[in-house]
Structure 1
Amino acid sequence: MSFLPKPLNKTLNSLSILASALRHFTAQSATAASKPFPDDPTSAYYDELATAAGNSGDLDAFRDLLNKRIEDGCFNTKRTFKFLTNTSSINDLIPTLSNLNPGVTRKSAFDSLVNRLCRLNRVDDALRVVETMVRDGTFSITASTFYPIINILNHNKSVHRARCVVDLMAGLGVRRDLTVHNLFLMTHCSAGDMAAAAEVLREIEGDGFFADSRTFDALVIGACKTGKVEGAMVLVRRMVDDGVPMLYSTHMFVIGALLEKGCFEQTVKYVKCFGGKDKALDADIYGCLASKLAKLKRVKEAMMVLEEMKQRGLSMGDKLKSFYERNGA
């Protein structure tokens, strides 16, 4: 949708919009405004302009950019609110977002702001934004709005408060989804609290969900953290049998746990079992194995893995290349 009633052409229309949106920008922004507005702007391009608008304090221009970027199919990213710092007030920003085009444009902006505030560990401000979203009433709040809040609270070991956020969701009629469950599951498994993890699994089943890659990833990590490598291998076999894709992190934890147990041959067999299907994955798991063997001073085994990487044409990091060259390649 155009801001002009009858645009002469796409380039002229975009230039007119840009001139309006950037009228109070800094000198850096003025330089950018003198350049032709791209026919196909990207999210990164809009993020650059949004940062300049935010840094200059021109919230009217910032509002216009947020409206226009969604019209151009350039959705907000984690960099859209990059200009916010730990000391930045959101008192003026919230009313600005409340005046955005209703629907997707407004909700996307609010969600991005919540995400940025959580990255800055400003949970109370993030919850203030949620309150505004509730009062707005022009869109439905979804569970995804709460992901960053629950994640940072769990990361800060404030599990009880994270549970209170889930209660808040329920009060708003927002059903917790599998991602919410997985955030709690990962927290408990990373801490080695498998009793609490088992309770989360019961909640997952009770809510009618099935385990996905992140569910299994958390459980594998929990098994490895508590020294139950055999249990981790059972979970891996279950994933293979059920056709659940494995995350890179799942492989890394299994490799590390096997090596800690001194199961060098079994670790090599594990890597070879999953090799040959995805070259990027091969480079990661073979590289991970070689790096860990090198740190354990298992030079012979590390060199065997690196030789196979070379034969397969897999890329090596600088440290592995240096190790390979130093040890007689």
Structure 2
Amino acid sequence: MAAALDVVDRMRKEGVEIDVMGYNSLVAGFCRAGQVDAAWAIVETMKVDGLHPNVVTYTTFIGEYCTRKDIQEAFNFALVDGLGRDGRFLEAYALFREMVKIGVVPNHVTYCTLIDSLAKAQRGNVSLALLGEMVSRGVAMDLVVHTALMDWFGKQGKIDEANTIFQHALLNNLTPNHVTYTVLIDAHCKTGYIDRAEQVLSHMEEKSGQEAALDVYDDMSRQGVEMNSFVVDSLVNGLIKNGKMEEAESLFKDMSSRGMLLDHVNYTTLIDGLFKTGNMPAAFRVGQELMERNLLPDAAVYNVFINCLYMLGKFKEAKSFVAEMRNSGLEPDQVTYNTMITAHCREGKTHKALKLLDEMNRRSIQPNLITYTILVAGLLKAGDVEKAKYLLNGMTSAGFTPTFMTHRRLLQACSESRRVDVVLEIHEWMMNSGLHADLLVYNTLVHVLCYHGMTRKATVVLDEMSKRGIAPDSITFNALILGHCKSGHIDNAFGIYAQMLQQGLSPNIATFNTLLGGLESAGRIGEADTVLSEMKNVGLEPNNLTYDILVSGFAKKSNKVEAVRLYCEMLNIYEVEGCITLLMSLHPTLTVASMAALAELNVVNHESTFGDVADG
């Protein structure tokens, strides 16, 4: 080994610059001489010099091990102690394939090392291919491989696949550890599947799931699974998202009382949830507890308080927190400023929002795309189109490219403003900036135009979509139908409906309710039978809104008998004694003739809809 280092030192003293190829030559020389330890010393020196061994380097070692008849050790040594450990997973995979080609049969260690490494590097598809190969060769999977694959599937949002891997581990008598549980709990909670998180921990035992997240916690405690702040944050987050704030607080307090060292993330999650449910006193109490535990609030904690106070309209209190943040030695960051800018734009105080942008620049805090989107949307909503355009140009000059989300947000802002006429101008600017609109953007544009009665312009947009190869969907056509109905162009609405069918799109209940609403508004409710017939032909049943439209329409046409018949059909109530007397007492405006016609219908009162019947 010393000889190897001496060689490198002599070369350096003579001014020879050694690259990867040079090191590989040295490695090859020592391996040929049978001095493997010296060759590995060269590799370590190579790393110190900032160079990375490559496949050639490790193949050289493999050749030497093969000479010694220890092929498998050579293979594993290169993968485990070499490329895999250095985080160079794709090179490790390439080496793996080379060795398989020359007849080396990978063993359990080889497969598990490579699958685990690739999954952690988010190369899960390659891991899955290796898994299939591993199973076909009859090589057993260990818990590390199962957990790595569960983690990858969870991060991809593929919860069913993650659960399948978990069940496979159980079937192979592998005992999940706290890492396995943490991975699955986090995946389920983040996707809102609290009930399924509980099922994982109860080994597929079906439960009611009413207190799912707390049961998960209890199961883990009973099974002696080690808890950590990551698990707690996943559970608390899941409970909050599912509206179970009391359970989240209870779990948090329980973990704290057990002496677990909760961190800033745990506290921030709970404080944010408490604020969003309007429980300010509890949020401040948790913040006080954080400080009592000598966990000084960080920027994330302050940002939660500032954001929630602004959302509650408490500007004075929010500003005091910004001042306190600075006094504690922390500077407001992008998140802080974006929060303040959002609050001022929401209140229509765009001049203050623009001052904050100037302040960001003075303090060398780089605005991001979110900052510009908030400001431009705020200016458009306030009707200050020229300033909005100026800022849009500033955004592109700063190197920011608008996204589809930016595009949609600005179109929506135009809809909410006093200058909805500029919506197409903003759309054109976005398209000219190099952004290619997707279906969601076009649907937003069509909706905005139709909502404001600009159906002709919306039809032009439909043609633009066709030219760009973007096929409209049922949402696009529903918006157009609604626009024509709102404008009183009911025949045009039916024309759009026919076009929708010609393109092979299936109407939904919203389509039919919109058409019925158009007929009702136009005083043509008598034509509703055709719409109802088509609705039933496509397998749709009327819902409450359908009946409300029909009842209201027939009542306005003074057809009270049909209105009440439909009302009774909606409620599906029969043989109700005394209902006629009840109707007369509640709505004496019904005529005797109407009551006689209703005598066989047995109806009961339903205030919102029945009011239309009686007043018609």
TM-score normalised by the chain length of structure 1: 0.71
Give the fraction of aligned pairs with identical amino acids, expressed as a percent. Answer: 18
Q: Structure 1 residues 265 and 320, CA, compared in 2 at 3 Å: closer, same or farther?
A: closer
- Residue of structure 1 in register with 2:365 after alignment: 209
Out of 60, 70, 76, the position equivalent to 2:230 is 70
- Distance in 2 separating the partners of 1:87 and 1:101: 20
Out of 159, 175, 179, the position equivalent to 2:331 is 175
Of 307-316 and 75-84, deviating more is 75-84
Q: Structure 1 residues 261 and 276, CA, compared in 2 at 3 Å: closer, same or farther?
A: closer
Report how far residue 154 of structure 1 moved: 0.8
Gaps of 5+ in 2: 1-141, 148-165, 171-175, 199-210, 482-495, 501-616
Is contact 1:282–1:314 with CA below 8 Å preserved after alignment?
Answer: yes
- Distance in 2 separating the partners of 1:300 and 1:84: 44
- Distance in 1 separating the partners of 2:396 and 2:305: 33
Q: Structure 1 residues 238 and 68, CA, compared in 2 at 3 Å: closer, same or farther?
A: same
- Residue correspondence of structure 1 range 6-155 to structure 2 within 5 A: 10=143, 36=170, 41=184, 43-45=186-188, 48=194, 49=197, 52-54=212-214, 58=218, 61=221, 67-68=227-228, 70=230, 78-82=237-241, 85=244, 90=249, 93-94=252-253, 96-97=255-256, 99=258, 102=261, 106-137=263-294, 141-155=297-311
Out of 202, 215, 229, the position equivalent to 2:385 is 229
Out of 244, 249, 274, the position equivalent to 2:400 is 244
- Residue correspondence of structure 1 range 213-292 to structure 2 within 5 A: 213-246=369-402, 248=404, 250-256=406-412, 260-263=419-422, 266-267=425-426, 269-274=428-433, 277=436, 281-292=437-448
Of 235-244 and 81-90, deviating more is 81-90
Higher relative contact order (CA 8 A, sep 6+): 1
TM-score normalised by the chain length of structure 2: 0.41
Report how far residue 180 of structure 1 moved: 0.8
Q: Which has the larger radius of gyration?
A: 2
Gaps of 5+ in 1: 1-8, 15-32
- Distance in 1 separating the partners of 2:338 and 2:458: 35
- Residue of structure 2 in register with 1:19 after alignment: none
Letter in 1 for 2:360: I
Letter in 2 for 1:162: A
Residues 155-196 of structure 1: per-residue CA shift (max 9 Å, x gap) = 111111112222343454433212112111111122121343
- Residue of structure 1 in register with 2:549 after alignment: none
- Residue correspondence of structure 1 range 279-318 to structure 2 within 5 A: 281-314=437-470, 316-318=472-474
Task: Report SS of the residue matched to 2:313.
Answer: coil
Report how far residue 301 of structure 1 moved: 2.3
Is contact 1:223–1:231 with CA below 8 Å preserved after alignment?
Answer: yes
Report how far residue 261 of structure 1 moved: 4.6
Report how far residue 235 of structure 1 moved: 0.9
Residues 217-251 of structure 1: per-residue CA shift (max 9 Å, x gap) = 22212311321111111111111122124355543
Is contact 1:275–1:282 with CA below 8 Å preserved after alignment?
Answer: no
- Residue of structure 2 in register with 1:3 after alignment: none
- Residue of structure 1 in register with 2:588 after alignment: none
- Distance in 1 separating the partners of 2:219 and 2:355: 46
- Residue of structure 2 in register with 1:29 after alignment: none
Letter in 2 for 1:61: S
Task: Report SS of the residue matched to 2:370.
Answer: helix
Residues 113-148 of structure 1: per-residue CA shift (max 9 Å, x gap) = 1222122122221222222222223x5532112333
- Distance in 1 separating the partners of 2:217 and 2:422: 59
Report how far residue 89 of structure 1 moved: 8.9
Q: Structure 1 residues 248 and 160, CA, compared in 2 at 3 Å: closer, same or farther?
A: farther
Is contact 2:239–2:247 with CA below 8 Å preserved after alignment?
Answer: no
- Distance in 2 separating the partners of 1:315 and 1:43: 38
- Distance in 2 separating the partners of 1:182 and 1:155: 13
Letter in 1 for 2:264: K
- Residue of structure 2 in register with 1:200 after alignment: 356
